[in-house]
Structure 1
Amino acid sequence: MRARIEEIVFDCSDPAQLVRFWAALLDVEPVDRTPDWSYIDVPGFTRIAFQAVPEKKAAKNRLHLDVNAGELGPATAEAEALGARRLGGVVTDEYGDFQVLQDPEGNEFCFVSG
């Protein structure tokens, strides 16, 4: 069998709000398919979708996105202005630097450089 990833889906309480955060962060247009389903199409990447679910996020994500946003400081400040929350400081290792953040619904993601 040969399978391919169709899209990555975030469970959330407010798809229309969360899609706008990610659309602004990734400089793409948000699409609201229904009140319970929104998405963005990121050039060179698979679709990222947001679906409404009744339960709240309860623990750390088991999967997250690493986003190369250039310089970490300015990118982090811009993401925070959009509603992200910084988790800890910049981490540096032999592969480069990264900053862990949460989107407005608490989903973790990292800005990476290096």
Structure 2
Amino acid sequence: MPVAHIAAINLECPDPADLARFWAAMLDGEVAVQTPDFCAVKAGPLHLGAVRVDGYRPPTWPSGERSQQIHFDLAVDEPDDLDDAEARAIELGAVREEQQPAPERFRVLRDPAGHPFCLRG
């Protein structure tokens, strides 16, 4: 029996509302909490929080100057839909990372606050 389960993951950012809207759309979730300094997206049993940090500086992956801080791997329902999933993520506000280690298997993008994440086919 586990000691605990993950209830929430929180991401630092400059604009919690913007980041929450992005992740709610990406994960088919809903913004369940919204204040000027904190928003939470309910996505299934998990809450993904966005916390305002003054002077926030995004990760610099692949450079080690500022670490990734966190990295999500998101599974695309159908492996053949990887191109469509990438296009939709960009439409929602993601940015495609220039460095793509294995684009036939996964795509590296950044959320609106600069956190890297992968879409996997």
TM range (shorter): 0.7 to 0.9
Q: What is the TM-score of this pair, normalised by structure 1? A: 0.83
Contact 1:60/1:108 (CA < 8 Å) preserved in 2?
Answer: no
Partner of 2:71: 64
Unaligned runs of 5+ in 1: none
1:32-52: per-residue Cα shift (whole Å, max 9, x none)?
Answer: 332111111111x42111111
The letter of the residue matching 2:70 is L
Distance apart, 1:29 and its partner CA: 1.2
Contact 2:110/2:116 (CA < 8 Å) preserved in 1?
Answer: yes
Partner of 2:40: 39
Partner of 2:96: 86
Q: Which runs of 4+ in 1 moved over 4 A?
A: none
Partner of 1:103: 111
The letter of the residue matching 1:76 is E
Partner of 1:25: 26
1:13-45: per-residue Cα shift (whole Å, max 9, x none)?
Answer: 1101110001111111112332111111111x4
Question: Which region of structure 1 is more displaced relative to structure 2, 51-60 or 7-16?
Answer: 51-60
Partner of 1:51: 51
Change (3 A) 1:25 1:108: same
Size of the aligned set, in residue pairs, is 109
Unaligned runs of 5+ in 2: 59-65
CA distance in 2, matches of 1:46, 1:108: 19
Change (3 A) 1:6 1:28: closer
Contact 2:107/2:118 (CA < 8 Å) preserved in 1?
Answer: yes
Higher strand share: 1
CA distance in 2, matches of 1:31, 1:62: 24
Distance apart, 1:90 and its partner CA: 6.5
1:44-75: per-residue Cα shift (whole Å, max 9, x none)?
Answer: x4211111111222424132111112321000
What's the Cα RMSD here? 2.1
